[in-house]
Structure 1
Amino acid sequence: MKLVVATLLLVSLILLGSSPLTTADYGRPTAPPPASPPTFCDSKCSARCAKAGVMDRCLKYCGLCCKQCGCVPSGTYGNKSECPCYGNMKNSKGTSKCP
């Protein structure tokens, strides 16, 4: 009886084929993806956030706004009239979303 159960279990594992136990890469660490070249938004937001107190937050929101609007105002503060979409975006609190 034990031999029949073991045989059925082995056959079912072979037939499934997509079981995580049979996947060769299961549990192996993967290499990080290659770094992408700097984009328009990356360079513009780096300049925009150069004097920011919380750099990572400034870069995050600037990047989101830039991707949606396709532009970033010049300088590190103000000048939002250069890019109306960027200047008009609001967060849930009603204040400016873009730095």
Structure 2
Amino acid sequence: MFIRIVKMSFHEENIPIFLENFDSIKEKIRSAEGNRLLELYQDKNSPCIFFTYSYWETEADLENYRQSKLFDEVWTFTKKLFNDKPEAWSMDKLVSIQ
């Protein structure tokens, strides 16, 4: 399992726009080949900071999504709303206890 975490920081006035857009495209992202989980988090102490947390079957699945028309549309829209440079982490899941 391949995990991708993306940190995004928005201008406060852009948060409702981001959330509305995310709501409209989340199922499309989740339906991307190889995607097994998509979650969105908002920081408790800094509400302008959000994280997406996604599981992918393989790194290639994520890369295929990142090369897709859907990703291009999502990222083109979203990056205009940022107030800081986004950060991303890629990792392999080693252990999960439920």
| TM-score after normalising by structure 2 | 0.28
Higher helix share: 1
Greater relative contact order structure (CA < 8 Å, 6+ sep): 2
| TM-score after normalising by structure 1 | 0.28
Higher strand share: 2
Q: Which structure would you say has the larger Rg?
A: 1
